[in-house]
Amino acid sequence: MGLGLLGRGLGDTLFLVRCGAKVTVTDLKSAEELAPSIKALDGLPVKLTLGAHDPADFIHADMVLRNADVPRSSAYLKLASEHGVPVEMDESLFCKHFKGNVIGVTGTRGKTTTTTLIHKILSAHSPRVFLAGNIVGRATLPLLEQAKKEDTVVLELSSWQLQGFHDARLSPRASVFTNVYQDHLNRYSGMSEYIDDKKAVFLYQHGTDFCIFNRDQQETLDLAEEAPAGKDFFSVQDVPGEWEIQLPGRHNRENIAAALRLSRKLGVPDSTIQAVVETFSGVEHRLQWLGEKHGIGFINDATSTTPVAGCAALDALAGKRILLIAGGADKKLDLKPFARSAASRSAKIALLEGDATTALHREIAEAGGESKIVGRFDNLRSAVNELIRDARGGDVVLLSPGCASFGMFRNEFHRGETFISIVEEILEYGEIPVQPRASDRSDSR
């Protein structure tokens, strides 16, 4: 249920076909919308129910595999349960069958960076480490064909994916809880419901299992009190000052600290950890440096889907003259902190249209930033062009929307890929009418 376009639904489908299952794929999107995924299923014995769901598919199945983006309140999932059909999710179903070590990483921000860094560190220490979970293009179930019981699997786990762990009453043997901030309030009734889903990363641990919590945040310290097994802590201060870190921003030092503590606990020597950390340049779409032309830099932070992420990006670029692209779809989050930061830290702001943008515009104006807004755009290329029209050498064009992507884009990754394409064209062919730096102007004093 839910093929999607990020590759995980496709990977699960191909795996189940290889297992000999009779697979029905059902998705509310049309075949045209799902074209890349559908093409990969050409010639395979897979029944497709697209554009709508058929109740019969759920009543007569032996199992429903639910995509994490499908709300657990779906009437079709209820229908399956009423007819005795088990509803499973990718990552938790994998963990039911995998006998090796599983490391789970959750939290509101920093999941992907922390998970990816842990995977790189452990891979440098041991050759048999796999990465999956909430990672684009990486379905987890197919790892049952590759990973052995002596291997380790590192999973990034979203709150929705963790619902399956609650259902199965299991948790990864080792886990990391990065932080807690407001998110997904367009899908949850409140923060307590959101956090309750997250708790599955540690709630069913036992024996020598453990979870590592953020010592620098009260919310995670409070959660640690509920840990039924081992608990440990990381702090941004744990990162040795002499390490040459490539990732900008305090939030990335927190991500490194989490990976550091987890890796130490698993017996990885500091020399190995340091070597990996110092060569780690980050993950695509997360403060990703794309290059510069005529001294104007371009940074892709397309997975900035919350106000706190937008604030972190602006903080990470303190001292730079920032040309910000912000705005998008509403997640029912408080936009005031991001608006205040944008108004004070940005030189210019281009707003992308979306149902959160009017409120963001208003909050920026109330924070004194109205004069910095160069317009509202329903086209990302037009927003970039307007920002660089009279840019100065030393400026940074930052895509960090602080809002969800739906409306203009399929998802935040599509948003980032679109920005990358625009910037690559500028870097290769475009001409930017660069203004001199203020200190270089003849009338400067």
pLDDT at 432: 63
What would the pLDDT profile of 328-359 be if each residue is shown by its tens digit? Answer: 999 999 999 999 999 999 999 999 999 999 99
State CA 95 to chain mean position distance. Answer: 21
The amino acid at 176: V
* Total tally of structural domains belonging to the chain: 3
Per the CB < 8 A criterion, the answer to whether 174 and 206 are in contact is no
Q: How far apart are CA 7 and CA 228, in angstroms?
A: 35
Q: By C-alpha distance, which of 367, 330, 331, 376 is closest to 349? A: 376
Q: Quick one: 50 and 122 in the same domain?
A: no
Q: How far apart are CA 259 and CA 120, in angstroms?
A: 10
Instruction: Please indicate, yes or no, if residue 235 is contained in any of the structural domains.
Output: yes
pLDDT at 127: 87
pLDDT at 390: 87
Q: Output the CA angle 193-199-204, nearest 5 degrees.
A: 135
* Paired tokens of 352: 């992308």
* Paired tokens of 103: 């490391």
Q: By C-alpha distance, which of 103, 211, 91, 94 is closest to 153? A: 103
Per the CB < 8 A criterion, the answer to whether 365 and 342 are in contact is no
Instruction: Please indicate, yes or no, if residue 423 is contained in any of the structural domains.
Output: yes
Q: By C-alpha distance, which of 433, 425, 436 is closest to 386? A: 433
Q: Quick one: 116 and 16 in the same domain?
A: no
Q: Quick one: 271 and 327 in the same domain?
A: no
DSSP letter for 136, please.
T
Q: What is the CB neighbour count within 10 angstroms for residue 364?
A: 27
Per the CB < 8 A criterion, the answer to whether 323 and 348 are in contact is yes
Q: Quick one: 134 and 238 in the same domain?
A: yes
Give alpha helix (H) positions in 214-295.
218-224, 250-265, 270-279
Q: What is the CB neighbour count within 10 angstroms for residue 87?
A: 21
End residue of a domain, out of 237, 252, 279: 279
Instruction: Please indicate, yes or no, if residue 121 is contained in any of the structural domains.
Output: yes
Q: By C-alpha distance, which of 437, 424, 429, 326 is closest to 390? A: 437
Q: Is 245 helix (H, G, I), strand (E, B) or coil?
A: coil
Q: Quick one: 234 and 146 in the same domain?
A: yes
End residue of a domain, out of 223, 245, 279: 279
Q: By C-alpha distance, which of 376, 386, 381 is closest to 421? A: 381
Number of H helices, E strands in the chain: 16, 16
Q: Quick one: 225 and 252 in the same domain?
A: yes
Per the CB < 8 A criterion, the answer to whether 378 and 353 are in contact is yes
Q: Quick one: 234 and 96 in the same domain?
A: yes
Q: What is the CB neighbour count within 10 angstroms for residue 39?
A: 10
pLDDT at 438: 43
pLDDT at 444: 30
What would the pLDDT profile of 274-300 be if each residue is shown by its tens digit? Answer: 999 999 999 999 999 999 999 999 999
Instruction: Please indicate, yes or no, if residue 435 is contained in any of the structural domains.
Output: no
Instruction: Please indicate, yes or no, if residue 445 is contained in any of the structural domains.
Output: no
What would the pLDDT profile of 424-443 be if each residue is shown by its tens digit? Answer: 999 988 666 555 444 333 33
Instruction: Please indicate, yes or no, if residue 443 is contained in any of the structural domains.
Output: no
Q: Quick one: 298 and 413 in the same domain?
A: yes
Q: Output the CA angle 118-134-160, nearest 5 degrees.
A: 125
Q: Quick one: 354 and 421 in the same domain?
A: yes
Give the CB-side neighbour count of residue 257, counting CA atoms within 13 A: 24
What is the CATH classification number for the domain harbouring 121?
3.40.1190.10
Q: How far apart are CA 45 and CA 174, in angstroms?
A: 38
Q: Quick one: 78 and 119 in the same domain?
A: no
Q: How far apart are CA 33 and CA 365, in angstroms?
A: 37
What is the CATH classification number for the domain harbouring 46?
3.40.50.720
Domain boundaries, position 50: 8-85
Tens-of-pLDDT digits for all 445 residues of the chain? 999 888 899 999 999 999 999 999 999 999 999 999 999 999 999 999 999 999 999 999 999 999 999 999 999 999 999 999 999 999 999 999 999 999 999 999 999 999 999 999 999 999 899 999 999 888 999 999 999 999 999 999 999 999 999 999 999 999 999 999 999 988 899 999 999 999 999 999 999 999 999 999 999 999 999 999 999 999 999 999 999 999 999 999 999 999 999 999 999 999 999 999 999 999 999 999 999 999 999 999 999 999 999 999 999 999 999 999 999 999 999 999 999 999 999 999 999 999 999 999 999 999 999 999 999 999 999 999 999 998 999 999 999 999 999 889 989 999 999 999 999 999 988 666 555 444 333 333 2
Q: State phi, psi for 211 to the nearest 5 degrees.
A: -130, 140
pTM summary value: 0.91
Q: Quick one: 211 and 168 in the same domain?
A: yes
Q: Quick one: 392 and 363 in the same domain?
A: yes
End residue of a domain, out of 261, 279, 297: 279
Residue 437, CA distances (Å) to 318, 363, 387, 392, 394 in order: 17, 30, 16, 6, 7
Q: By C-alpha distance, which of 301, 305, 302 is closest to 287? A: 301
Q: How far apart are CA 17 and CA 15, in angstroms?
A: 5
Q: How far apart are CA 109 and CA 176, in angstroms?
A: 12
What is the CATH classification number for the domain harbouring 424?
3.90.190.20
Instruction: Please indicate, yes or no, if residue 441 is contained in any of the structural domains.
Output: no
Q: How far apart are CA 326 and CA 405, in angstroms?
A: 10
Instruction: Please indicate, yes or no, if residue 439 is contained in any of the structural domains.
Output: no
